[in-house]
Structure 1
Amino acid sequence: MSVQIEFLGHSTFEIRSGEHRILIDPFLTGNPQAKKTAEEMNPTVIVITHGHGDHVGDTVEIAKRTGALVIANYEIAEWLTAQGVKNVHAQHQGGGFQHPFGYLKLTVAHHGSMLPDGSNGGSPCGLLFKLPGKTIYVAGDTALFSDMKLIGEAELDLAILPIGDNFTMGPDDSLQAIRFLDPKLVIPCHYNTWPPIEQNPHDWAIRVGGETDAKAKVMEVGDVITV
């Protein structure tokens, strides 16, 4: 089965698999890259990688309006419940669960996770999706780490990686991450939203093609691709 991916800006993506619309890190309000508003989103599922405001974003508003299932680490799940979100599923690093849309395992990520109000956001996570016919890894905000080799053993159809540097790994480290992960296709994120993370993604894509076995796809905001 094919899967569609829409890039909504920064690190916000929507994965469409069958009847499921999986919205990842829905940062739309206040996102200078965003072309859609939170009010336009109608996901069946929301997944959050960590607690920072540019990833939790509009989760509470969208979840309350749509009733979407929200998946996050335990600390963020508890925080969302306290905000009045009703449909929440807590997981944590290393833990997987068979959801109606497919299997989701939360992986290690090396970053922070404090929530916008200063609450404890637990440990940041990456996302390993095993959807019908496709395996997708969303790294979240992270530094390079050698255990990405283990994630790569899942035989990835797609990896979504940050390349902005400063807060996450930059282009050089992302190339090593690609070698560890060995995905068929890689998409960059978390760059050019603000000056500290400015990068040239097209130069990066050329390097991916020349220095790894993966294919790179630079998505413009609003682009939809089929994997």
Structure 2
Amino acid sequence: MDVDWVAVAVAGVTGTIAIVIAYASYRASARSADASETSAVASKDSAKEAAKLTQIESQRRQDEREDRHELLAPALPREIETTLEQGSISGHKSLFANVVVTSPRNYRAHVVGWTGTSMVPVSGLDLQVLGQRMYKLHIEHWAADQEAPHVKELRFKFWPPMGVDESNPWSCACGRPTSEDTERLGHWEIRLPVERPRRPRIRILSP
């Protein structure tokens, strides 16, 4: 049988070329897959870094709002110093306290007394509180045999002023409640203990 060696050689060369092309195509595909995987990992890392930076910036802004919130808070004494005063009409004594909001800003405010079991009204504090001004609060009526206040503490609520209060109102952007409803939580809430009334000092004069 005669063998066509030329055809065999051509077939061999063709097969070899096909194998080389297939291998080259495989290598190219592998490199493309590696590049795609690397790109995906890089994109994922970039997204994580962007999310982290966004979180850091959000926390920074929140910290700034909290710092400003604390800076704008009203300043009150640490405790309420009380005095007993005789009523000019009724003749009964009442417990009073002089309170000064030492902050330079104005606020909206509300105050009640806490007896330990219930809230009781306290008068003398305007809805619009002016900074650096003293307010005389009527805490409770005083019985003849009474020795200590029934009101244990005063609970203050403060809010930034509203536009109707003054021509240049200021605000606090921390997101806490406004003064649209004084029954709601305060923007700032302060509780101060009520002390026993001061006894008048008796001066003994030497003969």
Q: Which has more radius of gyration?
A: 2
Q: Compare the two structures and name the one with the higher helix fraction.
A: 2
Shared topology, TM-score over 0.5? no
